[in-house]
C-alpha cells in the first residue's frame, strides 16, 4: 500500500505554481522525511494529501487509493500543521473535548493519560502552555484519532532544542507502540537524519529525489582529492556536486557499483543523509528520478574539480 500516490500533480495559486509535475509513490511502513527549502512545495503537497487543498492538475490518492479529504481518509490520517489549530482561550481539556466531537474515532483515555504523563494540566489554557507543550497537545490530539499515518508539517519550527528533542522522542515512542507510518516535513535535515528511513526532496515546486534512505546512501559516496582535472568512468560514476575547500576538492558522486576504485590520489568515503540532501538542493536540476542511466554514459569523462 502507498501512503501517497500522485501522477502529474500540480497546484497553482493565482499565477504561481507551488507544485508542478509531481509523480510520486510513497510506500507505507516508513518514517518519511519530506525535505526542501522554504517555498519548495512541502506544505502544499501535505495539504493536498490531507484533503485541505484540491489539485490544479493531475491526481493524488492516499492510503492505497482513498480520496484525500474523504471520510475514509480523514479517519485514518492524523495531521499536525506548523500552526496547529489550537484555540488559546480554551483549556487543554476543552481542546480534547472539541477534538473528540470533531473526529470519527477517538481514544479519550489515551489522550488524557498522555497529557498527564507529559505534565500538561487539563485545566490550563492553551495560551498559557509553552511552545513545546502546545506541540505535544497537537500531537496528542492527532494520536487519539488512532490513525494509520501521521502527517506532520514543520511541527518543530518554533520550538527550542530541548522541546524539539522531547517531541521527537515522544513521536518515535508512538511509532514503535502503534506501528504508525509518518510523513515528517522539515527543512532541517539534522532533525530527521536519526529517524527517517525514506526520503523525499522537493525543490522549486518539483519532486527532485525520492527513495529508501539506505538505498540512496548506498548509491552515493564522497570522493575527496587534490582537485584539478581527472578522468572518471562516467558509465559507472556520475558527479552530483563538486566543491572545493582550499586545494582539496569534494565530490558527491552516484555510483553503479560499490566496489569501484577511486581514481589515483583520491579517496572514497560514505555520504551522510545531510551530504545527499544539501548537494541535490544546491542544484535543482540534479535528480535521481528515475536516475541517470549510468550504463549508457560515455566512458572517460573529464571532470574539473
Indicate the domain borders of the chain. 2-204, 214-304
The tens-digit pLDDT sequence of the chain (305 residues) is 999 999 999 999 998 999 999 999 999 999 999 999 888 999 999 999 999 999 999 999 999 999 999 999 999 999 988 777 789 999 999 999 999 998 888 999 999 999 999 999 999 999 999 988 998 999 999 999 999 999 999 887 778 888 888 888 888 888 888 889 999 998 777 777 888 999 999 999 999 999 999 999 988 999 888 866 655 655 677 888 888 776 788 888 888 666 667 777 788 899 999 999 988 888 877 765 544 333 333 344 444 44
Q: Could you tell me the sign of the dihedral formed by the alpha carbons of 282, 183, 138, 130, in that order?
A: negative
CATH class assigned to 2-204: alpha beta
User: What pLDDT sits at residue 4?
Assistant: 96
Res 202: pLDDT = 94
The position carrying cell 528533542 is: 165
Asked whether the bond before 157 is cis by omega within 30 degrees of 0, the reply is no
Amino acid at each position: 500500500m502507498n501512503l501517497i500516490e500522485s501522477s502529474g500533480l500540480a497546484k497553482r495559486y493565482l499565477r504561481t505554481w507551488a507544485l508542478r509535475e509531481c509523480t510520486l509513490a510513497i510506500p507505507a511502513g516508513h518514517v518519511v522525511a519530506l525535505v526542501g527549502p522554504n517555498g519548495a512545495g512541502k506544505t502544499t503537497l501535505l495539504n493536498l494529501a490531507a484533503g485541505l487543498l484540491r489539485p490544479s492538475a493531475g491526481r493524488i490518492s492516499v492510503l492505497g487509493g482513498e480520496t484525500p479529504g474523504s471520510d475514509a481518509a480523514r479517519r485514518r490520517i492524523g495531521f499536525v500543521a506548523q500552526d496547529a489549530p489550537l484555540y488559546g482561550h480554551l483549556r487543554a481539556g476543552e481542546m480534547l473535548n472539541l477534538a473528540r466531537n470533531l473526529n470519527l474515532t477517538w481514544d479519550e483515555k489515551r489522550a488524557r493519560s498522555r497529557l498527564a504523563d507529559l505534565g500538561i494540566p487539563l485545566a490550563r489554557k492553551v495560551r498559557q502552555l509553552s511552545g513545546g507543550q502546545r506541540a505535544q497537545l497537537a500531537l496528542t490530539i492527532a494520536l487519539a484519532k488512532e490513525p494509520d499515518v501521521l502527517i506532520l508539517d514543520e511541527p518543530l519550527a518554533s520550538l527550542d532544542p530541548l522541546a524539539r528533542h522531547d517531541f521527537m522522542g515522544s513521536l518515535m515512542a508512538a511509532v514503535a507502540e502503534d506501528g504508525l507510518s509518518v510523513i515528517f516535513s522539515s527543512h532541517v535535515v539534522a532533525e530527521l537524519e536519526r529517524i527517517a528511513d525514506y526520503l523525499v526532496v522537493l525543490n522549486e515546486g518539483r519532486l527532485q529525489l525520492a527513495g529508501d534512505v539506505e538505498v540512496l546512501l548506498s548509491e552515493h559516496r564522497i570522493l575527496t582529492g587534490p582537485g584539478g582535472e581527472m578522468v572518471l568512468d562516467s558509465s559507472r560514476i556520475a558527479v552530483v556536486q563538486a566543491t572545493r575547500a582550499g586545494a582539496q576538492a569534494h565530490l558527491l558522486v552516484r555510483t553503479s557499483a560499490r566496489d569501484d576504485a577511486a581514481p589515483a590520489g583520491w579517496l572514497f568515503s560514505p555520504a551522510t543523509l545531510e551530504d545527499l540532501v544539501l548537494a541535490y538542493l544546491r542544484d535543482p536540476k540534479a535528480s535521481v528520478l528515475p536516475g541517470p542511466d549510468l550504463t549508457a554514459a560515455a566512458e572517460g569523462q573529464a571532470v574539473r574539480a
